[in-house]
Structures are given as C-alpha cells and as structure tokens.
Structure 1
Amino acid sequence: MATAFKTAPVAASTRKIIHRTRGNGHGTIVRLMSPSDLGEHLKPFVFLDLFAGDMRQLAASMPLHPHSGIATITVFTEGDVGFEDPQAGKGTIGFGGVEWMRAGGGVWHGKELSGGKSALMQGFQLWIALPPELENGPVDSQYLEADQIPVVGPARVILGKHGGAQSPVRAPYGVNYLMVRLGAGESWTYTPEPGHSVAWLAVAQGSVSAASQVSKGDMVLFERGEGNITLAAGENGATFVLGSAVPHDHPLHLGYYSVHTTAEALEQGERRIEELAERLRTEGAGRNSSGGVPVFR
C-alpha cells in the first residue's frame, strides 16, 4: 500500500468531504457520532466520543453499563491511564495505546481503567458494529501499550492493516482505524484497502487540510469510493483518527447500549445482559487492587 509522508504543499484530496459535525455536548465528553445518526452512513463505524479531563474524575462518574453486538475501541491522544485485568495483567495505556473490548453476546463494563501518571488525558472511544457471526459470540478484551501497536510513517495502526503492517487487535476483517500525528506543514496520503468505500476522520489537536480545513473537535465524512485521501497539517501540526472500512451491509437494530443486525439477535443480546445484571446483583462487582472493576462477562 503506497503511503506518502513529507513536508510539501498538499494536493487536493480525491475524496470530497460530504458532511462535517462538531457533535453534541461540551466539556469532558463530546458525542460526534451515534448509531441513530451518522452511524447509519458510516457503519460498521457507529459511535464516536471525543473525551478529555482527569481520568480519576471520569472513572468515578462513569457507571457500570452493558453492551452487546459491538466492539469498543479506546485510544488516547494525550496523557495516559492505567489498566488492571485478571487475564491481561497490569500496565499503562498512553499515546498510541489501545483498549479493545468485543462485547459480543453481552458484558458490563465502565470502570476497568484508572488514572495514570498524567493529570489530564484526551482520547476517542469508537464503537464498531459486529458481523452476524460475532455479534452474540464470546467476549474478547485486549489492553495494548503503545509499543505493541505498529507504526507506519505518521500513522499508528490501531485496527486492520496499513502499509504492510497488521494491528495485533483481534478485529473483524475489513476495518481500518489509524491514529495519525503530523508536524506543522507535513502532508500525508492515505490509500484505503480495496473495498474500503466508507471513510471519515476526526481531529483531536491542531488542524488538517483535506480540500477544506478540519479543525480540533471536527469530524468529517468522505464521499463513498476507494480514492486516496490527502491531508496536510496546519501551522500547529495535527493529531487525528481516521477510519475506513468495507460497508456493513446489515440494518442496525438498536438497544440502549447495544447494536445488532436483527431484532432476534438484539433480543438475545439483551437477554444475556439481563442475566449478567442478575449476577451483578447477587455476586457484586469485584474490584482490583487499583480500585477498578474488570469487564464483567
């Protein structure tokens, strides 16, 4: 896959921007995409939050909550957090690290991460809709520190493959998710994998030009197609995430925290969630030594 990374005037993107948003909310969490709005156009990408603040306060205010039918992917664009999990051990996720949680048939989570060394942090949480063979399947969690994520030029390969590198995240086929940092005036061209006609990006810091300027807090959708996307950073550089994928050719059946391909699959996922809720009521959620609660499955 051809990639360019250079300091040079930017060429016009071959993929036009067809929509932009600054989402809903302000302060610590901004909802840029939900399954009931942009998720319909960008599926399998169905949800995106940009969050920032003190992880200790966020962890305290975030209740345990359920999911089924999706995977959540959390990356950090500034600062760090801690993790502790009976299956994955302990560690720190900072810039370029990843928390992957495939909810499959049902989980409760929300308190598995804790404050790290930094006072403040920023990042994105993305949901992807799972294909039928995985949407009610086993739960899968991975906590990957930055040095475990491959880097190609300015891009960290969070999901999928790019530039000959394959992410270690156990994601479904046909989904790429990159986190990119460009210096002032640097340009970069992304060449999607064959069939990746869905594409979008969201900016965490600075700004990029993609035929028009995309600034901190913006999310943009690109027209359908398989053309390149050429980007150039502004005078303060840029940090952003970019997703591309083969379209998810299934309807979205929505629960409160669940997304499935059929009403029957949704009912199955919500039934499992209620079974887990009953276990939580009787067994309680055991805390780890850091004060967090591991994913309950």
Structure 2
Amino acid sequence: MSIRPVIETRTARPTLEGAGVKLHRAFGFQDPSELDPFLLFDDFRNERPEDYMRGFPWHPHRGIETITYVLAGTVEHGDSLGNTGRLGSGDVQWMTAGSGIMHQEMPQGNAKGQMHGFQLWANLPSHLKMTTPRYQDVKGADISEIVDDDGTRVRVIVGEFWGKKGPVDGIAAEPQYLDIFVPAGVKKTFKIDTYRRAFAYVFEGSGRFADASRPTGVLLEKEVMGQEVHMRDLSGDRTLIRFGTGEEVTVQAGDEGIRFLLISGAPIEEPVAWHGPIVMNTKAELMQAMADLRNGTFIRPA
C-alpha cells in the first residue's frame, strides 16, 4: 500500500460571510482545480451570538451542491421552493442547487451560545449543472458511527467505510465524508480510493500525518520552499492537510487525541466559470445566470 504524501498544509483564515458571520475558510475562491471536485470549505465556529446571529440571508446558488454539517447549535433554513427546516447537533444537509435555488441559513447557538458547523461546496459536472434542485436532510441519529477496538470513532456521513454506508446518496462527486476521532497515542491508517482527491481538516486536538517522502512511521509535514524541503511536526486546530495520490492516510494522534474530517471525491476535470455562489462551465453560462437573476427567471419551474 502507498501512503499519500502531504503536499500542503494551511491554517483556515478568518473571513466574513453572509450578513457578517465570522468564520474560518480553509479553501475557496482560488484555484478550483486544487481540490476538484470540491470548491470551498468553511468552518463556522463561535461562542458569541453577535458573531453569527445575522446569518446568511436570502441568496442564490446554481451549478453546485453544498453539504452542511452541524456539531453545536442549530441552523434554520428556508428556500424558494417552500422547504423549511432546522439542522441540530450532529445533523447533515446536502443541497443540490442544480438549475437554481434561493435560500437562507440562519444559525442559532446552543444553551451556552455556542455555534459550530462546517459547509463544503462540491461542483456539479456540466450535464448536471441545470438538474432539478433537491435536499437531503439527515438526522444525526441516522448517521452510522463505528467504534474500533482501540477507541477510534468514525461517523460515516457520505460514502462507504469499514462496511458501513452513509445515509446521504446520489451525489454527483461520489464523495467520501468521514468524521474521525483517534484517541491519544493511537496510530491509525485509513484507506482512500487512489483516483480521488483528498484532504483532511483537523478541528480538535493534534497529531501527525505520515508523509510518503519518509519511511513509514516517520510522521512529518513536508513544506517546499524554493528548492529546499523543510520538515516539521504537524499539529494544531483548524488545519487543512492536502494529500497527493496514494492508497492510504496514516495519522498518529497527539496527547489529547485528534478529531478531523477526511474527505475525498472523484475529480470532474471540467472548465470552471465562478462568481460568488454560482459555478458554471463557461463565461456565457455565468452571464446567463446573472441575467436570469435580474429578470426573475433564475428559479425554473419544477
């Protein structure tokens, strides 16, 4: 088996989104080929209601799918098709925007005022850009959690893993989306399809990921600067790890254990024309979407 090399790490950057929600963005609005089929990943985590209560008022989407995963607090949502609902702790929503949808997402904290969740954008291939919009809302209780003998816990949100299948299906990118906790001091290996792009996002604890540039068991981050290769231990919160090709990812948990998302998907490898929440294949299609917004034809009849 081949270990996927760590080709880049970065810390999610603070940014403002929606009506003034403070969040951290791990990637997005840069090179869409970098993690194709994924376009954007946000970590919205706050303990001050004033940092998130203004939420994400009505806005459009076309040509993408979004997955929202809530860990603490709730998110109330509504859309132009008349759908409404609330995501609570542990719940997941996958929205296929397809031909176009207007929606809003309004976060509310828990009893302690805490709010924490993630949103991932996945691209749609050209033949599905104008597909009929749909939602998949999944309660946390319906998501399989696997507990291994060493205490490792894996929630299978999308895809198949260790004999369990996630409840979200029919996603164009055919992703695997796992929420993983590895206990303190435990070393664990996770297999990933060789042909998928993959990244991990560390949001609790710390640890080290094996790098294929060193022998198995030497767990280091590789950072290329000019012609020099520098090595240093990897640890820390809100850290994105981007992997190269290979068949597995190995992690060594730190003193407090490590919790991270491990996400992979098959690249689409098509041209991307992107403006805000609308992602098409050509500039002409993007301009048509803008014209549809102006003339009131953005929402197509079912």
**TM-score, reference length from structure 1:** 0.77
Q: Which amino acid aligns with 1:183?
A: P
Residue of structure 1 equivalent to 2:70: 76
CA separation in 1, counterparts of 2:180 and 2:276? 32
Calculate the aligned-residue CA RMSD, in Å.
Answer: 2.9
Q: Which amino acid aligns with 2:242?
A: L
Bigger proportion of residues as strand: 2
Identity of aligned residues (%): 26
Determine which of 38, 41, 47 is the counterpart of 1:48: 41
Q: Which amino acid aligns with 1:227?
A: E
Aligned length: 264
Residue of structure 2 equivalent to 1:22: 11
CA separation in 2, counterparts of 1:26 and 1:43? 22
Residue of structure 1 equivalent to 2:188: 188
3-state SS, counterpart of residue 40 of structure 1 = coil
Residue of structure 1 equivalent to 2:58: 64
Determine which of 85, 89, 97 is the counterpart of 1:94: 89
Residue of structure 2 equivalent to 1:127: 121
Contact in 2 for aligned 1:23/1:33 (Cα 8 Å): yes
Residue of structure 2 equivalent to 1:253: 273
Runs of at least 4 residues of structure 1 off by over 3 A?
A: 54-57, 82-92, 112-118, 267-279
Gaps in structure 2 of 5+ consecutive residues: 17-21, 148-152, 210-218, 221-233
Contact in 2 for aligned 1:13/1:230 (Cα 8 Å): no
Residue of structure 2 equivalent to 1:207: 206
Residue of structure 2 equivalent to 1:231: 251
CA separation in 1, counterparts of 2:155 and 2:5? 24
Residue of structure 2 equivalent to 1:293: none
Deviation at 1:239, TM superposition (A): 1.7
Deviations 1:136-180 (A, max 9, x none): 211112221211112234221222222232222232253111111
**CA separation of 1:232 and 1:251: change in aligned 2, threshold 3 A:** same
Deviation at 1:201, TM superposition (A): 0.8
Deviation at 1:241, TM superposition (A): 0.9
Residue of structure 2 equivalent to 1:175: 175
**CA separation of 1:112 and 1:24: change in aligned 2, threshold 3 A:** closer
**CA separation of 1:231 and 1:274: change in aligned 2, threshold 3 A:** farther
Contact in 1 for aligned 2:144/2:166 (Cα 8 Å): yes
Deviation at 1:277, TM superposition (A): 8.7
CA separation in 2, counterparts of 1:41 and 1:156? 26
**CA separation of 1:245 and 1:84: change in aligned 2, threshold 3 A:** closer
3-state SS, counterpart of residue 266 of structure 1 = helix
Deviations 1:1-24 (A, max 9, x none): xxxxxxxxxxx9811111111133
Contact in 2 for aligned 1:254/1:260 (Cα 8 Å): yes
CA separation in 2, counterparts of 1:278 and 1:162? 38
Tell which deviates more after alignment, 242-251 or 111-120.
111-120
Contact in 2 for aligned 1:152/1:162 (Cα 8 Å): no
**CA separation of 1:33 and 1:82: change in aligned 2, threshold 3 A:** closer
Deviation at 1:90, TM superposition (A): 5.0
Residue of structure 1 equivalent to 2:239: 218
Contact in 1 for aligned 2:64/2:124 (Cα 8 Å): yes
Gaps in structure 1 of 5+ consecutive residues: 1-11, 280-296
Deviations 1:238-283 (A, max 9, x none): 221111121121121111221222334434444444455999xxxx
